[in-house]
Amino acid sequence: MASQTINPHFPLLLAIAFLLSIFLSVSAQYSPRFACDIDKNPGLKKFLFCNTSLDVKTRVNDLVNMMTLQEKAGSIVSVADSIDRLGIPSYGWWSEALHGVSDTGPATWFNKTVVPGATSYPQVILTAASFNESLWNLLGKVVSTEARAMYNTGVAGLTFWSPNVNIFRDPRWGRGQETPGEDPLVASRYGVAYVKGLQETEDGDEDRLKIGACCKHYTAYDLDNWTSVDRFHFNAIVTQQDLEDTYNLPFKKCVLDGNVASIMCSFNKINGVPACGDKELLEDTVRGKWKLNGYISSDCDSLEVMFKDMRYEKTPEEVTADALNAGLDLNCGDSLKNFTASAVKKGLVNETMVNRAVTNSFTTLMRLGFFDGNPSKQMYGKLGKKDICTKANQDLARETARQGIVLLKNNLGSLPLLPSDIKSLAVIGPNANATVAMIGNYAGIPCKYTTPLQGLSDSVETIYEEGCDHVMCNSTEGFEKAKNIAAKADAVVLVMGTDLSIEHEALDRTEIDLPGQQNLLVSEVAYAARGPVILVVMSGGGIDVSFAKCNPKVTSIMWVGLPGQEGGGALADVIFGRYNPGGRLPMTWYPRSYTDTVTMSNMNMRADPSTGYPGRSYRFYRGETVYPFGYGLSYSLYVHHLVKAPKQLTISLKKPATDQCSKSTCKSIDATDKVCGSQSFDVEITVTNIGKMAGSHSVLLFSYPPQVIYNSPQKQLLDFKRVQLGPWNQTSVKFKVDVCKQLSVVDKDGNMRLPLGRHVLQIGDLKHSINLKI
């Protein structure tokens, strides 16, 4: 046999081939899903739906007309079937981006090789405390960039079921942390700003989407699992007045002002009808009155819940028909895939309803470029791993937490601490070295964590004791060590609060105190301390900290919400004066007696003196608070001075006054566009920072309407702005108030009415009266 010469580079070539095979395998496994891959299958050119020169409607109609009934049914579930004959791969609709890209939805995941993590911003409740709309919009933009980058690498979809704009009605709700708080205006403005940030493309093309957002959970959903009541069986009894002026408003604004791509209906019933089977709520309102340009999705397994838990119908086909006839377009779950065809054959639903559902869903994917071929050739095709967890994005996470942190107490100016004065800092508490607790519900894998202990240790020498080995704090075993280091240190930072073992999806609280023996730990450490004691509360909901508020040894209290991956750095920035706190509470902090007397299942926002029911939120609650909505201190003092506002205003009507009521007896008028003219007035103030530190200040404009409409709000937020001021600097702040839209209230029948008479405007300690007449 002839001898063979072996290439000396053969082992290297083998290694390269092996690595190349791995690369190709990984590339195939982690590549974006898209339809109309004409490069690989030129035969797809014949389909109109793959022709990018045609309008979206023409393309979608072409596609729907070619699909069989079962193909349609398989396309309107959260894991849509592939249609190989049309070149359409399977698509996962369920991704999440509540405060950064999350792996909660199965269409998104992290991988050490491809994308190990994404920037985890503060939980929404803390971000809302910034009262900064431009920040909310910016967060949407950077999150959508990371989302698109992950899609391009094959580990995410294009449709993200965020944000959560439900009203934080009750402090016990485990998912309140995900929301912008208790005020419908704040929830609306947050939702619109974030949705626009997520969806709008840089070229301004309104027919295109960067990613598809979804405002959820529609509607009156704010109870998960409280004592014997859970969301799968709960029937929310809601008045038309509460529905219109509180629960529905953020969703309405998401559609009308945010042009959101999707609305998700909730698990619960509203007045006896499941939300996902309520035609009046879905087809008549979301699509009919508000003109949604997108699809309506169910919450996950909602149709199965309707059948198995609620027993709303006798068969799954009947439930499927109820949902499709009500206006549902997409089912998170597989009920529509399994039962749509049989429901059509049984005559329970017409196939035109199925066509509508497929059309609305595929129109959204069309706007996202899913049917435009390889995404690498599209607008965002160059985004990739390099655009995830960037330094700029992680810096923004820290800045967002700083803007949201709320200073609740600061006796004798105990904060900020000067690092040069602190030789040793005692850091104590079950959340003092928190990681996962900082990111809360619907978080992914963060780029990294900066814990409170790490953040504080970067500035001064620290001594650390947990005090409690868990937030449940059932044992006092570690108290002595904690007291000992507090007695020796120059200052003490106690990081207490909750985590997801206390409050999360499917787990509502039953108490609103600090858990377990945390109160006792705080009190004993404060008594032993020889220097300032700073109590830091890390939580999604409000906590009754009255004991610490009234304790002179607890010199400062601050709430940091669930501050995201950079929470520890942000906390240190505030404590050591590198950042002047300016956050305001986006929800009322109630005393514990509130939860002793008010059932969580009572959906009424308005107080009822005849039964002793105190009402909910600052707009209607009549009772003592620990800290009110909008409360927040600063290291500076800000002074407001009124420059301009009318004292009297005559309302111009589109219809004669006699059509409304007599001028002498009229107490209110119809506030709709048909009657009330488009009239506005300016409120101008100056804000002066008379402190020694630069700071940002949230200016909140409230109104106290005259009580001429049944159960009107006692107070309501009209507008807000956040301004930046240097020490001893002054700036002008202007608000334009639309009389008919912003000063109106909802009557008991759900109609908008403008009360006539004396309206009192308030900004901080400044009050001004304006008299409205016709």
**Residue 101 corresponds to which amino acid?**
V
Beta strands (DSSP E) in 99-163 are none
DSSP state of 758: E
Cβ atoms of residues 772 and 725 within 8 Å: no
CA distance 80 to 499: 35
Residue 114 has a CB neighbour count (10 Å cut-off) of 17
3-state SS track over 29-57: HCCCCCCCCCCCCHHHHHCHHHCCCCCHH
DSSP state letters, 490-532: SEEEEEEE--TTTSBTTB--S--SPSTTHHHHHHHHHHH-SS-
Tell me which residue has tokens 């308005």: 606
Judge whether 571 and 433 are in contact, CB under 8 Å.
no
Residue 299 known to be catalytic:
yes
Q: Which residue has the tokens 């009203």?
A: 167
Partner residues linked to 331 by β-bridges: 77
Q: What is the distance between the alpha carbons of residues 330 and 319, in angstroms, rounded to a whole number? A: 14
Indicate the burial class of 418 (C-beta count within 10 angstroms; 0-12, 13-18, 19 or more).
exposed
137 CA to centre of own chain: 12
Q: Can you tell me the distance from the alpha carbon of 596 to that of 599, in angstroms, rounded to the nearest whole number?
A: 8
Contacts of 369 (CB under 8 A, 6+ apart): 34, 158, 208, 375, 378, 379
Question: 323: burial class by Cβ within 10 Å (0-12, 13-18, 19+)?
Answer: buried
Helix (H) or strand (E) holding 759: strand 757-763
Q: What is the DSSP letter of 418?
A: P
Number of neighbouring beta carbons within 10 Å of residue 574? 26
Q: Measuring CA to CA, which residue among 88, 115, 113 is closest to residue 103?
A: 115
- Please state, in angstroms and rounded to a whole number, the distance separating the CA atoms of residues 457 and 459: 5
Tell me how many degrees the CA angle 252-258-260 measures, rounded to the nearest 5: 85
**Does the bond joining 705 to the residue before it have cis omega, within 30 degrees of 0?**
no
Q: Which amino acid is at 731?
A: T
**How many residues in total does the chain contain?**
774
CA distances from 90 to 78, 83, 245, 536, 720 (A): 10, 8, 40, 47, 44
d(CA 219, CA 744): 22
Q: How far is the C-alpha of 605 from the C-alpha of 341, rounded, in Å? A: 42
The single-letter code of the amino acid at 65 is N
Cα 490 to chain centroid, rounded: 39
Query: Do the beta carbons of residue 425 and residue 490 sit within 8 Å?
Result: yes
CA dihedral (223, 224, 228, 233) in degrees, to 10, reads 90
Q: Considering 170, 222, 242, 299, which one is annotated as catalytic? A: 299
Residue-by-residue DSSP string for 686-730: EEEE-SSS-EEEEEEEEEE--S-STT--SSEEEEEEEEEE-TT-E
Strands 730-738 and 680-689: antiparallel
Confirm if 302 and 267 have CB atoms less than 8 A apart. yes
Q: Annotated active-site positions, please?
A: 299
